[in-house]
Chain A
Amino acid sequence: MQDGITSAAEGAENLPIDWDSWLDTNGARLFLYARQQTHSRADAEDVLQDALLQLVRTVESGDFRGERSQWLAYTLSAIRHLAADDARRRLTRRNYELNVLPEPAEDNPWLRCELDDELHRRHVECVLQTLPAEYVEVLILRIWEGLSFREMAQVTGENQNTVNTRYRRALDLFREKLNSNPLPE
């Protein structure tokens, strides 16, 4: 992630970076991960914004060591850390925690169905949200963020073999739970 040889800011020293188009391409994917990592949609928005600003600061200051293609993994990692900090803060504020319930997935869907099959989309989301959080995380990182196992290991801070095994187990469990309502072909 940050262990590349070249500096992405080398070229960005003089040319302004087109952050708008980068956000157009990656915003939805990043937000999906932020949703999975946080308690509510509002928290996800805040965490995503902070992670993006962190990326901008790192890149614009020339401190980012790596290719431009690694910005996504960097931002996902920042989302993860910020969400963990946020969760830790919330644990110290028990009253707040007790009063805020998770938002129902129907109101704020994580996914959009290409085939306009709302039934399947709901089913997939329901199944996703019944899986352990660490399983959902690797499924999202692999399937919708398109990360390699090496990048997934960097984002989650786990060993690559652990991530690999976790992903296979998550997929097995996911398939089992989906069997009652198979996906459209």
Chain B
Amino acid sequence: MPPHTAPPQFTRTPAAELPPALRSRLLCAMREVQQAARTEVQLQQQLSSAFHPAPLESRLLVRLKTRVRHESRRLRSNRSSGTVWRRRLVPAGVAIAALMVLIGVLCLQSPATVQQVPSPEAPPSPVVLAAPQLNSTGPHPQTQLHYILPLSTVRACSFVEDDSGFFFESEDGEELFLRVLRFIDSDTEEDPI
């Protein structure tokens, strides 16, 4: 095994203390390097100042600009619409969900969803009436549904202008606008009108 040797120590020698022959060789080499660097820079400057990249043909420039502009616009539009969607979708979704819950609750509680049936003590011969569309503007929204009203409870009725329905007033004073589908007389099965 070779004996351990210390790394070589370099000492800095002032140029003036160098042997004359070595000094002149070093100076020569430095001048060559400097000259080469100068020539290199000079050539580079000559080339870059005397020659330039050939300009783009206008046809190509227009094509490139159009493509780049189009792509930029497309990306910006995608980005902004994406942002708008994200910004609007979440609150809109929450609002819709809340509205649906509210409608559900209202539907469960609304008396209109329950079909009114005659009470057991009410007399038969009901009048089957329906008020699907015409009375949507009528005074009572609940008349949208089918009603079975006992004839005995009807105090008054009158035709409306288009002959498509009646105003009924029941005993308790409730006024309904209904379109008559047909009257049913439970005894004769004939139209009482």
Report whether A144 and B48 are in contact in the complex, using a CB–CB cutoff of 8 Å. yes
Is B43 a contact partner of A171 (Cβ separation < 8 A)? yes
Complex formed: what's the CA distance from A53 to B56 in Å? 17
A145: nearest chain-B partner, CB-CB: B53
Residues of A within 8 A of B51 (CB): 111-114, 121, 124, 144
Chain B contacts for A56, CB-based, 8 A: 68, 71-72, 75
A27 to B68, CA, bound (A): 12
A17 lies within 8 A of B72 (CB): yes
A60 and B75 in contact (CB under 8 A), knowing A19-B68, A52-B64?
yes
CA separation between A112 and B56, bound complex, in Å?
11
Chain A residue with minimal CB distance to B75?
Answer: A60
Expressed in whole angstroms, the Cα–Cα distance for A31 and B53 within the complex equals: 8
Bound state CA distance, A109 and B51, in angstroms?
Answer: 11
**B114 within 8 Å of A by Cβ?**
no
A144 to chain B: closest residue by CB: B53
Q: Which of A27-60 contact B (CB under 8 A)?
A: 27-29, 31-32, 45, 48-49, 52-53, 56-57, 60
Within the assembled complex, what's the spacing in Å between the Cα atoms of A113 and B53?
Answer: 9
The answer to whether A52 touches B53, judged by C-beta atoms less than 8 angstroms apart, is no
Interchain nearest-CB distance for A128 vs B (Å): 10
Q: Which of A17, A19, A174 counts the most chain B CB atoms within 10 A?
A: A19
For chain B, which range describes its interface: under 10, 10 to 19, 20 to 34, or 35 or more residues?
A: 20 to 34
- Decide if A68 is an interface residue (CB 8 Å cutoff): no
Which residues of B, 26-42, contact A by the 8 Å Cβ criterion? 39-40
Chain B residue nearest to A60 (CB atoms) is B75
Assess A110 versus B53: contact at CB under 8 Å? Given A49-B64, A56-B71, A60-B79: yes
- Render B128-166 as a binary contact track against A, CB cut-off 8 A, 1 for contact: 000000000000000000000000000000000000000
B:45-90 near A, CB below 8 Å: 46-56, 60-61, 63-65, 67-69, 71-72, 75-76, 79
Of A17, A48, A110, the residue contacting B54 (CB under 8 A) is A110
CA distance A180 to B95 in the complex (A): 82
Q: A49-B64, A52-B64, A53-B67 are in contact. Are A61 and B53 (CB under 8 A)?
A: no
* B53:A28 contact, CB within 8 angstroms: yes
- Please, which residues of chain A bring their CB within 8 A of the CB of B24? none
- By Cβ-Cβ distance, the 4 closest A-B pairs, closest first, are A32-B53, A60-B75, A28-B53, A111-B51
User: What is the interface of chain A, defined by CB distance below 8 A to chain B?
Assistant: 16-17, 19-20, 23-24, 27-29, 31-32, 45, 48-49, 52-53, 56-57, 60-61, 108-115, 117, 120-121, 124, 142-144, 146, 168, 171, 174-175, 183-185
Q: Mind listing 16 A-B residue pairs with CB under 8 Å?
A: A16-B72, A16-B76, A19-B65, A20-B68, A23-B64, A28-B53, A32-B53, A45-B60, A48-B64, A53-B68, A56-B68, A61-B75, A111-B52, A143-B44, A144-B51, A175-B39
